[in-house]
Each structure stands twice: as structure tokens, then as C-alpha cells.
Amino acid sequence: MDQATAHRLYEAMLLTRLTEERLVKLFRQGQTVGSVYRSLGQEATACATALALGPDDVIAPLIRNLGSMLVRGVTPTEVFLQYLGRATGPTGGREHNNHFGSVERGIIAPTSMLGALLPVMAGVALSFRQKGEHRVAMTWIGDGGSSTGAFCEGLNFAVVQKLPLIVVGESNGYAFSTPPDRQMAGRMSLRSQGAFTLTVDGNDAVTVYAAATEARHRCLQGKGPVFLVCETFRRSGHAEHDDQRYVDPVLLEQWAAKDPLLRFEAWMGQQGWKLDPSLAVRLEAELLATAEAALEAPWPLPDSLTQGIFHSAGYNP
């Protein structure tokens, strides 16, 4: 990784962390319409994977992958307006977390139905190959989500068809309150179904970036999909309404010591690459101002209630 990429990756992970911290504050103030789902400790698996892609590649993130959306150019303003349910947000107040896409930025909207994005992204990858385009598709899945039929169908199709699809598996310790050994036999990598599989330390952003770069290269060479399993840990509850009392506090301490941002800072220091010491303070101030501006944004009008639910020509939230 060159120095410019390292700085971009650090900024993306920091922005993800601080944006989510601001969202948590808005949640605790009762300002968000629904709960807040975050990626504390998993920022490297969202950001370093997305950053390894090219501008024409397409991603389909999940709820823990806000970082990948920020990498692709989604702004904190959009994120806050969305969580605050405002009319000027990406879904005009119809949705209240990161479930929004952006075709022009190569983002297929996250959905709640776990596994459902696998067949969708296998289809996206198939279209790239049919059109002879030099592009890859990437999506993410948790250990819990990899137990779905849709995950198996989508990955199997990609393997059989040798599609340029990267599936990032986030093995993060829990599916809501269920540890992996209560819902799957063996490690997540066993779910590869014949896809070339890499298992990496998901809290080491340098390794994740290198693995995602290799995965993309393989896909572009026509070697078929890659299952990139990132071993990490979900250091906050499933969402902010979940106090995570079922998680051993010792585990939380152990994983806090492996924090991806701290490790990446240390690695940059070893390279002799200086970080701007005022970056976090500056970003926090910007995010506070952005959130306050979003709080002033209008609510959707009641008479727009039936618009934008199904596709309707001319509707522009």
C-alpha cells in the first residue's frame, strides 16, 4: 500500500468511527427515527475492502458496512438525514438506516434480508462478464447471514459460472446474540462451496487491503469468485438498543486491544508516515455541525406518504 492510499484508508476508517459515534449520540438524544447499527471494531473489513476496488466496480453493503459507502463517496450529511428520517435524505424519510443505494456511485442498496444480496450481486457480476466489462462485484455477509439458503444459492451460482464476485465474510463473534458454534459447524471459511477462499485478520487493515486487492485481481483474470473471510469482532451490541450483556467483558477487552484504527496508526508510524494529529478533532467538529444542520432539515410531508413506496416515475425524494 502506498502512502496516499494509507492516508485515505485511515481517514475512511476514522470517518466511519466518528460518524457512527455521532449517530449513537443522536440515538441517545432520541433524535434518530430507529435504532443505530454500527461497525465498532470492524471498520477495516468495510473500508479496506471497498478501497481496493476500482471506480467502476459495484458494491452491495450490509448494515455493518457504512464505511464502504463512505469510501464510495456517500457523505455524512446523507447518512444523518437518512437516520433522522428527513425529507431531504436519500430515501426521503422512507427508511432510517443505511438502506439506500446510489447507482452512480456503484452502490446497490443494502437490504435487511440476509443473504439476499448474494444472488443479486452474482447477477451483477454475470452482467459484467456478458458485456465483457472489466469490473467486479463485491458484497459482505456475516456469519449468521451465511446460514441462509440465499447465501448458498448465490455463491454456488457464482462458483459454477466463475463470476467476478468478491464475498467478504465477516466472522465477528455473534449473530445478534448467537455465537457461531450455535448455528454453524466449523469455521466460516468452510462455507466457500468451492470459491477460492482467503481467511485474514479482519482487524489488520493492511492485510485486508492486500487480500481484497488479490481477490479483485483474480476476479478480473476470470478465475471466479473469492470468499474473503475476515476474522473480527462486533464490539458493540447488534444495534444501540442491545446492551450486549451476553458477551463476556473479557472478550470485549481483548478485542479492544486489537482495535483496527490503533493498529493501523501504529503501522503507519512504523512506515514513518505521519498522521495529522488534529484530524480527529477536526472531523468531530465537522460531523457535529453536519448533524446539527441535518436536525434543521424538514420532515416528509404527510400527503407524500404513499409516494416512493413502489417505483413511481417522477418521484424524487
Ligand X SMILES: Cc1ncc(C[n+]2csc(CCOP(=O)(O)OP(=O)(O)O)c2C)c(N)n1
Binding positions for ligand X, 153-182, rule CB under 6 A: 170, 172, 174-176
User: Are the C-beta atoms of 98 and 89 separated by less than 8 Å?
Assistant: no
What CA–CA distance (Å, rounded) separates 59 from 141?
12
**Under the criterion CB under 6 A, does residue 61 sit at the interface with ligand X?**
no
x/- contact string, 133-152, with ligand X (CB under 6 A)? ---------xxxx--x----
The residue (of 46 and 136) whose beta carbon lies closer to ligand X is 46
Shortest approach of ligand X to residue 272 CB, angstroms? 35
Work out how close the CB of 229 gets to ligand X at its nearest, in angstroms, rounded to a whole number.
12
Rounded to a whole number of angstroms, the minimum distance from the CB of residue 236 to ligand X is 11
Using CA atoms, how far apart are residues 202 and 206, in angstroms rounded to an integer?
9
Going through the chain in order, the beta strands assigned E by DSSP cover 58-60, 137-142, 165-171, 196-201, 226-231
Closest among 218, 179, 220, 175 to 197, alpha carbons compared: 218
Paired with 168 in beta bridges are 140, 228
In sequence order, what are the residues at sequence separation of 6 or more whose Cβ sits closer than 8 angstroms to the Cβ of residue 258?
41, 203, 233
- In terms of CB distance, is 42 or 290 closer to ligand X? 42
Indicate the burial class of 21 (C-beta count within 10 angstroms; 0-12, 13-18, 19 or more). Answer: middle
Nearest distance in Å: CB 150, ligand X: 7
Helix (H, G, I), strand (E, B) or coil at 201: strand
Shortest distance, CB of residue 127 to ligand X, whole angstroms?
24
Among 4, 113, 309, 313, binds ligand X (CB under 6 A): 113
Secondary structure letter of residue 233 according to DSSP = -
Return the number of the residue (143 or 287) whose C-beta is nearest ligand X: 143
- Which one, 78 or 143, has the nearer CB to ligand X? 143
Considering the complex, state which of residue 92 and residue 115 has its C-beta at the smaller distance from ligand X. 115
Tell me the three cell numbers of residue 317: 425524494
Interaxial angle between packed helices 205-220 and 260-271, expressed in degrees from 0 to 180 and rounded to the nearest 10: 90
Span of 77-85, 110-118, 192-200, 245-253 interacting with ligand X by CB under 6 A: 110-118
Q: Which residue ranges make up the site for ligand X (CB under 6 A)?
A: 64, 112-115, 142-145, 148, 170, 172, 174-176, 234, 238
